Amino acid sequence: MRMIKNLAIASALALSIPATAQKFEGLAMTPPMGWNSWNTFACDINETVVKETADLFIKLGLKDAGYEYIVIDDGWMEMERDPETLLLVPNKQKFPNGIKTVADYVHSKGLKFGIYNCAGTKTCGGYPGTRGYEYHDARQYAQWGVDFLKFDWCYTGSGNGGFNYQQDAPASYTLMRDAIYAAGRPMIFNICEWGDNKPWLWGANVGHMWRISGDIGHCWDCEMSFGTWSKFGLWPIINMHKDIRKYSGPGHWNDFDMLEVGNGFSPTENRTHFVMWCMLASPLMLGNDIRKMDEPTRQLVTNKEVIAIDQDKLGIQGFRFMNLDGFDIWVKPLDNNEWAFAFVNMTEQKRHLSYDWAKYYCKDGLVDREIQWGKQTFALRDLLAHKDAGDTSKPLDRDIEAHDVVVFRLKAK
């Protein structure tokens, strides 16, 4: 009876939506930056953690470095909707003062607030999903002051939530997009259906970012199976879809998942992980416990020179240029005819890199950009070391630790 009642409400609301319903434009012109609770806290999130995280965004320099969204993931609500209003109810133990109070606190810090739900009948944690309640929930989020919605894909098929059919992903996410537009509050819409339905083919007109894979885990090169689903390590996610960079750009980003920097990787792997997400123009959503972050991790994730590669206004996703003697070499075209080059030691031991710039012709066919080494010399800026490092007139010689990275910004002299 409740579902029928809600569908009637949704249908009535849908009739009032203008035919021009769309996603909110002008958002996420560079990859969104912020923090999401899932990787550390899963469903065990609460008001105190969110407020303390907001405070530390200011104290630790995260806001100054460009991080602005604080997103509560799954587990924030009660197990049932309010029986009379059909509204989602914040968990009274976790959020005793409600969600709007928390959103207001985040906003008081000059930050933006995000929340989570699911396109199916339940969230992945078993809490009430949005299926059949799209317009209802979008209005509630708008009233709370939500700026970012992560929308998951659990309980959307046969035998999973009571439906005997599989929901259509483009239709389901378009419906929620229209509901957000009808609610009248601009929100970044994070499509999180794990890349199963190739969201890069249809997502640009629907959301602002879309996950390309299942969940990330803090391992270098592995798959952690949980029976019906898996977590993937750093390189399996990077290598999963090699032909989708052309679909990413300002306002619509390939999302390689929340960062696991500071969640169990070695210091060298932390550096590589962070640099690679920047080279890939992925959203930078921290997933660690900010309250326990050590100083090397803080310095890494607030490195403005590396972050600038991710936030470059051209919005071009980098690409694997070549593999040379155990080193992966990645290239990213930047604004003002500049380039970023990252060299990753993929081996299990320290290796010496000797790279003659002029020996390897470099062109990005996606944007028709090339480096004419015979006509141009580029100054090198070592972004992790914060220092100039000569130029491309001489070969690059550098010892690099196992699983470590060096990244340079190249500027024509």
User: pLDDT of 335-376, one tens digit each?
Assistant: 999 999 999 999 999 999 999 999 999 999 999 999 999 889
**What does the domain layout of the chain look like in residue ranges?**
2-310, 319-412
Task: State how far the Cα of 189 lies from the Cα of 373, in Å rounded to an integer.
Answer: 42
Share of the chain above pLDDT 70, in %: 93
Question: Residue 7: what pLDDT?
Answer: 45
319-412: CATH superfamily:
Golgi alpha-mannosidase II (2.60.40.1180)
Q: Of 137, 178, 215, 255, which residue is the catalytic one?
A: 215
Task: State how far the Cα of 234 lies from the Cα of 218, in Å rounded to an integer.
Answer: 7
Domain 2-310 adopts which CATH fold?
Answer: TIM Barrel (3.20.20)
Question: Residue 21: what pLDDT?
Answer: 77
Beta carbons within 8 Å of 270's beta carbon, 6+ residues apart: 261, 262, 296, 297, 300
Question: Residue 112: what pLDDT?
Answer: 98
Residue 404 falls in the annotated catalytic set = no
Residue 152 falls in the annotated catalytic set = yes
Question: pLDDT tens-digit profile of 207-259?
Answer: 999 999 999 999 999 998 887 778 999 999 999 998 999 999 999 999 999 99
- What average pLDDT score do residues 152-178 get? 83
Question: pLDDT tens-digit profile of 72-81?
Answer: 999 999 999 9
Share of the chain above pLDDT 90, in %: 89
Q: Of 137, 152, 255, 404, which residue is the catalytic one?
A: 152
Distances (CA, A) of 184 to 70, 86, 180, 199, 390: 21, 20, 7, 24, 52
Question: pLDDT tens-digit profile of 291-335?
Answer: 999 999 999 999 999 999 999 999 999 999 999 999 999 999 999
pLDDT at 3 over 50: no
Question: Residue 157: what pLDDT?
Answer: 86
Beta-bridge partners for 249: 252
Q: What is the pTM of this model?
A: 0.94
- What average pLDDT score do residues 279-290 get? 98
